[in-house]
Structure 1
Amino acid sequence: MTKFSDIKGFAFDLDGVIADTARFHGQAWHQTADEVGTPWTPELAEGLKGISRMDSLQMILDHGPKTRTYTVDEKEMLAEKKNKNYQALIATLTPNDILPGMADFIQSAVAKGYQLSVASASKNAPMILEHLGLTRYFVGIVDPATLHAGKPDPEIFTRAAEILQLQPSQVIGLEDSAAGIRSINGAGEVSLGIGEQSVLQEATLNFATTVEVSLTAIEQAMTD
């Protein structure tokens, strides 16, 4: 069992953990779903969390009418259109959009000597961190374009630990999706889920909201 004293770094998902850019993803994917005739449901919206752009598009197509088959080029065009819609939305982000408590947690973790990295499926993570004013706190960001597989595969969180030059057992991964929690667990890191425990039941640690996340609270949860 990993002890809090073993932890030297944190690997953050971005959407829904540092900022609520998930709502922008939802808006942009909803537009895509409408375009291809897929009914937009809460279950579909939840299933898209934490997975790559092309995997998300495929899920939308799989849930839609089976009246036609999309070519690779058509899928790429749909994904690019979604991304342009999403980028227009995230361009409006400011530090005020950081989720409650997260700025304090990030700043306090760095002040205490912890190393931080980002393990997000979003290729727009550098742009988002810049708009939020948080870039300087992170050692690095995993480039999802270099990965062989997306979440729930553990590769992204394995790479996040490598960026920090830490062993997986020295890292806590923060996620708000079930796919992300499985990715963290598969990488051999401590998983910290933010959100409904019923959805994130595989998480080692669970906090209902970002405002509850602090070094003190994590240490307490790991010693209970």
Structure 2
Amino acid sequence: MIKAFIFDLDGVITDTAHLHFKAWKWLASEKFGIVIDENMHEQLKGLSRMDSLEKILAIHHLNQKYTVKEKVELTTTKNLYYRKLISDITPRDILPGIVELLEEIKGSSYKLALASASKNAIAILKSLDLFQSFDFIADAAIVKKGKPAPDIYLLAAKGLSVAPENCIGIEDAVSGIQSIKHAHMFAVGVGDKRLLHEADYVVSKTEALTLPNMMQAWNNSLVKKKTD
């Protein structure tokens, strides 16, 4: 029985992924003298700050050039730039259909949690005026492993006191879908069905995310399991 819904932030509730990428492009140019392209944008979605930096450095064969301390300083520099970019976020930046969906879920007595890789998640939710909508916010700073490991989704489920198999997770990134599946939850993807093929149910845009549709998809998965 489904008892809770666990949301990612970027690409599901609001879209700051392009701002993350803008900050990474700036850092790569300013500090490394390199240019990162749109292919990298997709690869960085859902990753933690440090994992994103490691990926950029590895692709350009720079991962051995910096100490752990220097890498921490680099991620801090990137985050300061990113925070300037998100300082103007308002409720107008909530993706279409999300306010109505959150209200519908809460009104149906399901629990709500956030499982974002962003350490700025709370600040962003407050800017969107959505902080009070969530029963629990999983802190990316305390999980041992970032997505695609299941840690942050398991932490969210634990924070809600709900078993993972009774949760539906919602993501827009491949690493996020993998995180949900590794946590043994029902995975809902928002975006390209071909890219998010590991999800149990995919919609192309947030407007198509509705409580009845997700519950129907979950019920269909149960029927399929019984007939397999």
* TM interval, short-chain normalised: over 0.9
Report the CA distance between 1:223 and its aligned residue: 4.0
Q: Between the two proteins, what is the percent identity of the paired residues?
A: 42
- Counterpart-to-counterpart distance in 2, 1:104 and 1:174: 15
Residue aligned with 1:59, SS: helix
Q: Counterpart of 2:60? A: 64
Q: Is the 8 A contact 1:38 1:61 kept in 2?
A: no
Report the CA distance between 1:107 and its aligned residue: 1.1
Gaps of 5+ in 1: 1-5
Aligned runs of 1:128-207 on 2, under 5 Å? 128-207=124-203
- Counterpart-to-counterpart distance in 2, 1:80 and 1:93: 20
Listed one character per residue, the Cα deviations across residues 132-151 of structure 1 (whole Å, up to 9, x for unaligned) are 00011101111111111100
Q: Counterpart of 1:119? A: 115
Q: Is the 8 A contact 1:9 1:115 kept in 2?
A: yes
Listed one character per residue, the Cα deviations across residues 52-93 of structure 1 (whole Å, up to 9, x for unaligned) are 100101111112254970122221111011101111111111
Residue aligned with 2:194, SS: coil
Superposition misfits of 4+ residues, deviation over 4 angstroms: 65-68
* 2:10 is equivalent to residue 15 of structure 1: yes
- Counterpart-to-counterpart distance in 2, 1:76 and 1:162: 29
- What is the TM-score with the length of structure 2 in the denominator? 0.92
Please give the root-mean-square deviation of Cα atoms over the aligned residues, in Å.
1.4
- What is the TM-score with the length of structure 1 in the denominator? 0.94
Report the CA distance between 1:163 and its aligned residue: 1.0
- Counterpart-to-counterpart distance in 2, 1:184 and 1:124: 21
- Counterpart-to-counterpart distance in 2, 1:218 and 1:133: 25
Gaps of 5+ in 2: 221-228
- Counterpart-to-counterpart distance in 1, 2:28 and 2:128: 28
Q: How many residues align?
A: 219
Report the CA distance between 1:37 and its aligned residue: 2.9
- Counterpart-to-counterpart distance in 2, 1:107 and 1:213: 13
